Amino acid sequence: MPQTPSYQLTKHPIGSLREIWALTWPLMLGLLSGSFMFFTDRLILARISAQAMNAAANAGIMAWACFVFPIVIAEMTEVFAGKSNGEGSFSKVGKPIWQMLWLSLFTVPIFWFGARAIAPYLFAGTGNTANELDYFINSTDFGPFWISSIALAGFFVATGRMQVVTYTMIFANVLNIVLTSFLVFSLDMGCKGAALATGISQFTQTVIYLALFLKAEHRAKYGTGDYSFDFQQIKEFLRVAIPSGVGRINEVIAHVVFFRIMIMAGPDTMTCVTMVQSVYMLMGFAIDGLAKASTAAISNLYGAGKKTLLPKILKTAFSLQIILYGAISVILLCFTDQISGLFFSNEEAHLLQNPEFLFTLRKAMFWMTLYFLSDGFCWILSGVFYAASDTKFVMYVSITLNWIAYVLPVYIIIGVYGGSADVAWMILALYNISIFAIYFLRSRTIITFNTEPEVHEIEALS
């Protein structure tokens, strides 16, 4: 029986539903624990007050705006390590991870001191400043560990060992939920406690990943003991990652502006939008897991020069995304009222008796499911752009559409004319569908979707 090539990450035929699912489900399971962690944090804070939950939403997106640029760079470890693994250059696989670990170390003063300097200006006049400051500052203190944990996870994803990421994330996220409950309820630390618990879980993930990354067999095969700083490789990372990072920062800033507009629209609108966003974050594990699995497969094939196999990977990933969308939509749309009951303390449950609020919530949930579908498609195609180093295109699309098709309509329709939360989510869905259409057209210039790989080539790799 022929030896399985390094770019074939499972025992299943390349591009088959079994292969993509085998790569995806362990990541989904780990990411589900992360999504459940954030969702549980929101529910725990909601039991204190809607103000605490809204503070976590607004301050959380602000913290993510600070994290996103170095995180996007760190995510490239999956692409660079995957390409080296795919071409069989195993001794080069570990080095890009070390470059990102150095990057995480360099960000320490920025997160620890810079965040404290800008925080009072970010949350001035929101009416919820104290809660938001607590959540933001304690979140950004752990920023370097977000970067390091993502960089290290990229090593295991790129080499096809998704189970390591799964078990590590589950353990860390269960720890987070336990800590959040203890710090928020037992020690009455509110938003500060929720942020600290999340940060400690990221630190825990970094420690576990690093210990496994430095195992003797990994040092021997993948060169994970080569911790030297490589300026040339850092430059290559930045060349590919900076455009994508700029695009992601632009997207996050647009989300920040979106939440400010929701605050202006009133507490009921903000609460409805935050509830639906929280549910989306819970379901986001499916998108992230499938996107990471697809990117790992695509990067390995790029490294091996097997681009003719990419259309099958994408078609299978799209099919799996549609299946996930169908299952999740049925659950969310059939049980919207029951889900909404989880978000309110007894003192604030009067909103659930408001027919207008519930009707708006149901419509917002419908539009969120369409956003979920198109967002998954976009992230699958992003794997092609990352592997092809075509990240400038991603940046241009983000800079243009985030403001023209997203923020501007939200400001006019919601901020000026008083539109409701469901309209805000409708704009989000239509904006994301337009991004997918543009991504798809661009992807056809990189690969040819109507070119099927040779049957004997796929069978030989099975």
Q: Would the pLDDT of 451 be above 60?
A: no
Whole-number pLDDT of residue 455 = 40
Q: What is the pLDDT of residues 138-181, one digit of tens each?
A: 889 999 999 999 899 989 988 888 889 889 988 988 898 899 88
Domain boundaries, the chain: 17-460
Whole-number pLDDT of residue 459 = 42
Q: What is the pLDDT of residues 57-67, one digit of tens each?
A: 778 878 887 88
Mean pLDDT of the chain: 84
Average pLDDT over residues 241-263: 84
Query: CA-to-CA distance for 71 and 64, rounded, in angstroms?
Result: 9
Q: Would the pLDDT of 449 be above 80?
A: no
Q: What is the pLDDT of residues 316-353, one digit of tens each?
A: 999 999 999 999 999 999 988 888 777 766 666 666 77
Query: CA-to-CA distance for 136 and 120, rounded, in angstroms?
Result: 10
Q: In terms of pLDDT, which residue wins out, 189 or 31?
A: 189
Query: CA-to-CA distance for 103 and 208, rounded, in angstroms?
Result: 19
Whole-number pLDDT of residue 31 = 67
Record the pTM. Answer: 0.77
Q: In terms of pLDDT, which residue wins out, 259 or 313?
A: 313
Q: Would the pLDDT of 450 be above 70?
A: no
State percent of the chain over pLDDT 70: 92
Residues 6 or more apart from 101 whose CB is under 8 A from it? 148, 151, 152, 227
Q: Would the pLDDT of 417 be above 60?
A: yes
Q: What is the pLDDT of residues 375-386, one digit of tens each?
A: 999 999 998 888
Whole-number pLDDT of residue 462 = 40
Whole-number pLDDT of residue 456 = 40
- Return the closest-CA partner of residue 406 out of 379, 366, 433: 433
